[in-house]
């Protein structure tokens, strides 16, 4: 059986519509899934041959989907048209999921142009989406556990009389490699979790020498300190006793919202006191230029 690509649009209310060769919303053509626009910044001086490179940026991505509603009964066509208009509500944020067999990628999108012009036989549709963040990502976050306790409890359980049994052990390494398998740098959601009293936790990137450091902050057992370094989502919060508060005032002024570079990223964690009470987790998406 031939594997065909599918595009699934899901609005923020969780309602979806599929565009594919086998869907009622028969997809005939799409563009923009692999197209990116790279803007190069440069300057030149008087008498200079050529230009001097300053930097670049990848612009937002435009995706178009066109096809026909695979119905011939006028009442059914009208119902499908109303359903499509309801789901493609420009007031609702959405995601677009690309599926080809077991290969899945997701991107955030906004509806820019949904049109359904009058048609002689089958109702045509044309949809233009704008992806402000142009990158595709995997459907689930990747994660890395930098400092944590490893459970040793297992069955069948045998407890020696002379030595007893160890129920868990501390991961011994203070350095861990977080690998970004994507095409571009990506932000992180870093969680510092306290098992007991922890004073001024920190995270240090060995390659770039950049760091996130907290000052004048004591974490209690059960506290979760979260740093989000994703563009447009930057935040520092402290969750304590079921309440979440802004913790930006505790972050060192020389700290940076570090990104994961493509490939290997080596981090070292630390704390001014009670390091063994600290667990550190990093959550991130691998991001790709195309599908």
In order along its 291 residues, the chain shows pLDDT tens digits of 677 899 999 999 999 999 999 899 999 999 999 988 889 999 888 888 889 988 888 899 999 999 999 988 888 888 999 999 999 999 999 999 999 999 999 999 999 888 888 776 788 999 999 999 999 999 999 988 876 555 444 556 556 555 554 544 455 567 888 999 999 999 999 999 999 999 999 999 999 999 999 999 999 999 999 999 998 899 999 999 989 999 999 999 999 999 999 999 999 999 998 888 888 999 999 999 999
Nearest alpha carbon to residue 57 among 231, 256, 233, 234: 231
Cβ neighbours of residue 193 closer than 8 Å, sequence gap 6 or more:
223, 224, 225, 278, 279, 280, 281
Backbone angles phi, psi at 272, to 5 degrees: -70, -25
Determine contact, residues 66/124, Cβ cutoff 8 Å. yes
Distances (CA, A) of 273 to 183, 191, 206, 218, 262: 38, 18, 21, 9, 33
Q: What secondary structure, in 3-state letters, does 39-104 show?
A: EEEEECCCCCCCCEEEEEEECCEEEEEEEEECCCCHHHHHHHHHHHHHHCCCCCCEEEEEEECCEE
Domains of the chain: 6-134 (2.40.30.200), 142-288 (2.60.120.880)
Cβ neighbours of residue 75 closer than 8 Å, sequence gap 6 or more:
none
Determine contact, residues 90/69, Cβ cutoff 8 Å. no
Determine contact, residues 262/184, Cβ cutoff 8 Å. yes
pTM as predicted: 0.81
Token pair 């760091």 in the structure block, residue? 211
Token pair 């667990």 in the structure block, residue? 279
Residue 151 CA to residue 154 CA, distance in Å, equals 8
Strands 149-151 and 168-170: antiparallel
Token pair 């987790």 in the structure block, residue? 281
């Amino acid at each position: 059986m031939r594997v065909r690509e599918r595009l699934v649009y899901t609005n923020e209310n969780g309602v979806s519509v599929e565009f594919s060769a086998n869907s009622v919303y028969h997809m005939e053509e799409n563009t923009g899934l692999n197209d990116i626009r790279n803007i190069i910044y440069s300057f030149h001086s008087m008498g200079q041959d050529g230009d001097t490179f300053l930097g670049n940026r990848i612009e937002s991505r435009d995706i178009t989907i066109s096809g026909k509603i695979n119905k011939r009964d006028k009442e059914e066509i009208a119902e499908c048209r109303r359903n499509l208009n309801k789901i493609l509500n420009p007031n609702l944020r959405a995601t677009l999921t690309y599926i080809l067999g077991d290969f899945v990628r997701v991107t955030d999108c906004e509806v820019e142009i949904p049109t359904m012009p009058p048609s002689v036989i089958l109702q045509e549709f044309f949809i233009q989406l704008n992806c402000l963040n142009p990158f595709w990502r995997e459907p689930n976050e990747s994660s890395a556990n930098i400092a944590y306790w490893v459970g040793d409890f297992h069955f069948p359980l045998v407890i020696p009389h002379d030595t007893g049994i160890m129920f868990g052990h501390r991961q011994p390494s203070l350095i861990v490699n977080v690998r970004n398998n994507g095409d571009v740098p990506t932000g992180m959601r870093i969680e510092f979790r306290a098992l007991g009293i922890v004073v001024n936790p920190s995270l240090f990137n060995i390659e770039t020498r950049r760091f996130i450091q907290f000052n004048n902050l004591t974490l209690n057992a059960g506290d979760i300190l979260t740093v989000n370094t994703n563009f447009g989502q930057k935040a520092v919060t402290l969750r304590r006793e079921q309440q979440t508060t802004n913790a930006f005032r505790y972050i060192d002024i020389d700290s940076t919202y570090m990104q994961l570079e493509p490939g290997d990223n080596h981090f070292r964690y630390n704390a001014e006191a009670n390091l063994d009470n600290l667990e550190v987790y990093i959550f991130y998406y691998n991001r790709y230029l195309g599908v």
